[in-house]
Chain A
Amino acid sequence: MSFSAIWGWFTDPANWQGTDGVPNRVLEHLLYTGLTLLIALVVAVPLGAWVGHSGRLRWLVTGANAARAVPTLGLLFAVSMFVGPLIQSDLAFVIPSITVLVLLAIPPLLSGTYAGIDSVEPAARDAARGMGMTGWQVLTKVEAPCALPLFLSGLRSATLQVIATATIAASVSLGGLGRYLIDGLASRDYVQMVCGSILVAALALVADGLLALLEKRAVSPGISGRAARVARSRARNSDPHPEPDSDGADRSDPDPRQAALVGSGSTGPVQATATTGTPSERDRT
């Protein structure tokens, strides 16, 4: 097992064409991931938004979280053993796997959406109502933008979960990059296993990076703390006598929304709280 063996595998033209070629396997993996996320989003987002908005059926979110303790491998095997024989076509392998992937993607999406909507400040919600917004407008114009950071971090963990489990699903005959790992194991082709693993890891890292970028771009600057930071640095650089209104001083105290984000898995806003901590703490350390 050496570097040149890995290099040799990646530069072998035979590994880049046909059903078993890298482009096709990557495409399959992306297809399963995309399809799964689409189905899971359609189920989880309206449900999570409704639970967060109305405050009813909260046990649904707790229950979904507890279900995460079920070993994914066991779920995969159990579902394919029951569902597989019921389907009389080539889809006998795809449908059970996608079902399990959807089941795994729902909890993070559901709790992300729910926690996002639930963390909206009651004052902001009341203000919106006071301005005469209808329930639908409150949801779409106030709650949704405020919930976006937590929702996106839920989407990130769901995506990673699906990419990882789709790999494992090769053991129940699903296509995708997992095939290299499982087939390599069966034929004791260790080079193929390592190369497949590199591809899987790279795919996961790229997907996560793209979603992190989306998180940075899509979240409103007022919520992520970007606006306050930009305004402050601008004030510091250009204006020696910053006006109290424009330098974002009203944002420097930790926002309850950001406090709720701590530990939720998103990096941006958490850093914002860290950098906007009370000056006395910063001076001492």
Chain B
Amino acid sequence: MTWALDHIGDIMFRAGQHAWLAGLPLVLGLVIALPLGWLAARRPRLRAVLLTTTGLLYTIPSLALFILLPPLLGTKILDPVNVIVAMTVYTVALLTRTVADGLSSVDGSTRQAAIAMGYGSFARFRAVDLPLAVPVIAAGLRVAAVSNVSIVSVASLIGISQLGYFLTDGYARSFPTEVWVGIVACLLLALVFDLVIQVVSRFLTPWTRVVAA
């Protein structure tokens, strides 16, 4: 505990790096997965192709992906961009399915009512389908956030600075306290991500609260 308090500045700094490496890919991944999921929800055949491809990318273990990306992207191995790209790939893989499922879960009669009211296909997506799919997409984002925070810590093995540093450093120095501080800090960060997504999702779907009350 005293160790954690003595190093609070360092912990907060690395937590910031960790949040950036895990959080930016969530945003990027969502931005990429929305059109992909929309396509997958509209065309069953494309859906199979898209979900299989993203599923294959998700299969590649994280440490291997961190090492394989530099020659593919032309970056240095210590470049944090590798981690951002790898985490974005994983996020897209998780979210494409969630977005597609969320969009297809919209009630058929709701959709037909929107069409009857004269919504075009894009306007309907923006104003009807997407808002209704928010709870499902948020659930997928929560899963992605928690797994991102955990996977990013692996990048400390190849020397990228974030909370995982306390894990590798504590192990190298046979100093369990530091490892535990790293684990707890990762858990807290995952919890913060989870709470933020839940709050944003609640804010975006005011109608669910009316039903609940």
B158's partner among A185, A205, A271 (CB-CB below 8 A) is A185
Instruction: Report if B42 contacts A (CB, 8 A).
Output: yes
CB-nearest residue of chain B relative to A80? B171
Contact A71 B149 (CB under 8 A): yes
Q: Considering the complex, which residues of chain B in the window 154-213 have a beta carbon less than 8 Å from any beta carbon of chain A?
A: 154, 156-158, 164, 167-168, 170-171, 174, 176, 179-180, 182-183, 186-187, 190-191
Contact B63 A168 (CB under 8 A): yes
CB-nearest residue of chain B relative to A284? B115
Contact A201 B136 (CB under 8 A): no
CB-nearest residue of chain A relative to B94? A265
Stretch at the interface among B7-15, B27-35, B43-51: B43-51
B64's partner among A72, A172, A201 (CB-CB below 8 A) is A201
A81's partner among B101, B111, B171, B187 (CB-CB below 8 A) is B171
Task: Render A10-41 as a binary contact track against B, CB cut-off 8 A, 1 for contact.
Answer: 00000000000000000000000000000000
Contacts of B158 in A (CB 8 A): 185
CB-nearest residue of chain A relative to B61? A164
Task: Render B95-117 as a binary contact track against A, CB cut-off 8 A, 1 for contact.
Answer: 00110010011001001100100
Q: Considering the complex, which residues of chain A in the window 147-202 have a beta carbon less than 8 Å from any beta carbon of chain B?
A: 160, 163-164, 167-168, 171-172, 178, 181-182, 185, 190, 193-194, 196-198, 200-201
* Chain B interface extent, by class: 35 or more
Q: How many angstroms from the CA of A1 to the CA of B77 in the assembled complex?
A: 12
Q: How many angstroms from the CA of A281 to the CA of B65 in the assembled complex?
A: 39
Contacts of B48 in A (CB 8 A): 267, 271
Contacts of B61 in A (CB 8 A): 160, 163-164, 167, 200-201, 204
Instruction: Report if A77 contacts B (CB, 8 A).
Output: yes
Instruction: Report if B2 contacts A (CB, 8 A).
Output: no
Contact A274 B68 (CB under 8 A): no
Residues of B within 8 A of A (CB): 42-44, 47-48, 51-52, 55-56, 59-65, 67-68, 70-71, 77, 97-98, 101, 104-105, 108, 111-112, 115, 136, 139-140, 146-147, 149-150, 153-154, 156-158, 164, 167-168, 170-171, 174, 176, 179-180, 182-183, 186-187, 190-191
Residues of A within 8 A of B (CB): 1, 68-75, 77-78, 80-82, 160, 163-164, 167-168, 171-172, 178, 181-182, 185, 190, 193-194, 196-198, 200-201, 204-205, 208, 262-263, 265, 267, 270-271, 274-275, 277-278, 280-281, 284-285
- What are 8 residue pairs bridging A and B, where the CB atoms are less than 8 Å apart in the complex? A68-B146, A72-B154, A74-B186, A81-B171, A164-B62, A167-B63, A168-B63, A181-B64
